[in-house]
Structure 1
Amino acid sequence: MKLQVLILFLVLGTVILIPAMAQQKDIKLPPEATEFYEPKVKVVTPGKENNLPPADAIVLFDGSNLNAWVSDRDESAAPWKVENGIFTVVPKTGGIKTKESFGDVQVHVEWRAPSEVKGKGQGRGNSGFFFMGKYELQILDSYENETYSNGQAASIYKQHPPLANAMRPPGEWNTYDAIFTAPRFNKDGMLISPARITVLHNGVLVQNNVELRGPTEYIGIPHYVAHPEALPIHLQDHGDLVSFRNIWVRKLD
């Protein structure tokens, strides 16, 4: 018994001593041992004012035209109205999509619900920002407007309600800043990692790196089906006069 106790004591002492020695060794390392210079961090000149695009951004709308967009029905010229530096949904013309395709992105978009309040719930200031044409960040006038939680403004539609309702009153501009990570599939079409998104609504964190369960579904349970690594961004025509301005993206992949 005494021999067994002695062996146990020696083993425990060794287990405790080795990490302590390693820690002591680390302390003796020079500071340069934990510094690295490669890869170099690229220089990106930020926008001169808040919300203006940084130097490496792709500007999707600068107030002048919709040349970066096409109709999502037939890829003809985007049919929505541009006036006074903003563009507005033309109901019943269909949604629009970007000519360029995107995967992982940082997005900035400013939008405004009509100042004249019409309808309620989902019938009030409704549109949608679709990453890859599949994953919807809801646009809705949720100012003192009751609807289902996972369908209000800044929700990942029918999946994740926002952490807060940060809406401004009808007629005032709202801002979304989002980081979207596209899903990954292997060569056989199996999902490797799901899409994820972080969203700030008017500077308030409303989606904190949430995992998407699949593309947006109005009816039924979302599920993944393999798709290309990059696809166009879509804006939805839901029949309401929602306006947009100052839209830019940064590719993160």
Structure 2
Amino acid sequence: MHGMTFLRTSAATLFVFAVGSSSAWAQTDPKATEQWDPVPKVVTPGNPNSAPPSDAVVLFGGKDIAQWEASKDHSPAHWKVHDGILTVDKTSGNIQTKQKFKSYQLHLEWQVPKDITGEGQGRGNSGVFLASTGPGDEGYEVQIMDSFNNPTYVNGQAGSVYKQSAPLVNAMRKPGEWQTYDIVWTAPVFAADGSVKSPAYVTLFHNGVLVQNHTELAGETFYIGKPKYNPYTEAPIKLQAHGDHSQPISFRNIWVRPLD
């Protein structure tokens, strides 16, 4: 009996020794932490970097607005296309993409006129709604306006998640210069009963400067009242035609990369 006990103990000891040796080997061999699958697909970047990469959906490339429609009734969009840019038309209202999206990477460039006048929210006001959930100003808005030497409430200046999150810094260029937004939008996910399984997040670079760092949203944007979520599965991207039409904002080079 003593011999059998000794043999069982020895076997267990040998097993523990073997496992320990394997673990020690894994910690000293660089191949043990190498991952080979799955292989990422090849995407050719744009040149320059603001140009659309090979897997992007070009929403406005300077020629037409075939990818857009009027938000109010889904009729053809009638903003003005001229000299490779897209300018807000005061009679047409908001426009949105015909295609709907979930999570994505978005690039767009925008410009307020060099001779812009007014102050506060009445100075070059517009917005990009990362998910448009209705015909008006419903959805999740990143603010667009002239914030160069133009004080206003900080969660309403350029680079803010409107009425929710002020930008980390003010990265605004002078009026007349082109501004760049690079946005990563993580769409909210809803349960079957409409409750929020995971909230929305937005990361925003304004002119190459990080101004929203994976910011968690409390819901949709509202001009009056607190944000709240309304369930949806996918939605278009919307550009706002604000009431400030005397000196309309222009856009160019808009593309999106769906992430799901």
1:247 counterpart = 2:254? yes
> 1:117, CA displacement in angstroms?
1.7
Separation of aligned partners in 2, 1:92 and 1:63: 21
1:214 counterpart = 2:211? no
Separation of aligned partners in 2, 1:171 and 1:158: 26
Give the corresponding residue for 2:136.
Answer: none
Q: CA offsets, 1:167-212, max 9 Å, x none? A: 0111110000010000001112110010001000000000000100
Separation of aligned partners in 1, 2:91 and 2:144: 17
| Partner AA of 2:146 in structure 1 | D
Which of 204, 207, 210 lines up with 1:199 in the alignment? 204
Q: TM-score, normalised by structure 1?
A: 0.88
Tell me, which stretches of 5 or more residues in structure 1 are unaligned?
1-17
Q: TM-score, normalised by structure 2?
A: 0.86
> 1:27, CA displacement in angstroms?
3.9
Query: Secondary structure of the equivalent of 1:109?
Result: strand
Question: Aligned ranges for residues 5-84 of structure 1 at < 5 Å?
Answer: 26-29=23-26, 30-84=29-83
Give the corresponding residue for 1:138.
Answer: 143
Tell me, which stretches of 5 or more residues in structure 2 are unaligned?
1-15, 133-138
Separation of aligned partners in 1, 2:145 and 2:59: 21
Give the corresponding residue for 1:238.
Answer: 242
Q: CA offsets, 1:86-129, max 9 Å, x none? A: 01001142100000001100000000011122211000000000
The total of aligned residue pairs comes to 232
> 1:25, CA displacement in angstroms?
5.4
Give the corresponding residue for 1:180.
Answer: 185
Separation of aligned partners in 1, 2:198 and 2:112: 35
Query: Secondary structure of the equivalent of 2:237?
Result: strand
Q: CA offsets, 1:124-146, max 9 Å, x none? A: 00000001111101000000001
Separation of aligned partners in 1, 2:127 and 2:113: 15
| Partner AA of 2:239 in structure 1 | L
Percent identity of the aligned residues?
Answer: 53
Give the corresponding residue for 1:7.
Answer: none
| Partner AA of 1:238 in structure 2 | H
Q: CA offsets, 1:135-163, max 9 Å, x none? A: 10100000000100000001000000000
> 1:31, CA displacement in angstroms?
2.4
Separation of aligned partners in 2, 1:50 and 1:227: 32
Query: Secondary structure of the equivalent of 2:236?
Result: strand
Q: CA offsets, 1:209-248, max 9 Å, x none? A: 01000000111011112112x1100000003300000000
Separation of aligned partners in 2, 1:92 and 1:140: 19
Give the corresponding residue for 1:155.
Answer: 160
Separation of aligned partners in 1, 2:32 and 2:83: 56
The Cα RMSD (Å) is 1.5
Separation of aligned partners in 2, 1:70 and 1:208: 31
Query: Secondary structure of the equivalent of 1:101?
Result: coil
1:111 counterpart = 2:118? no
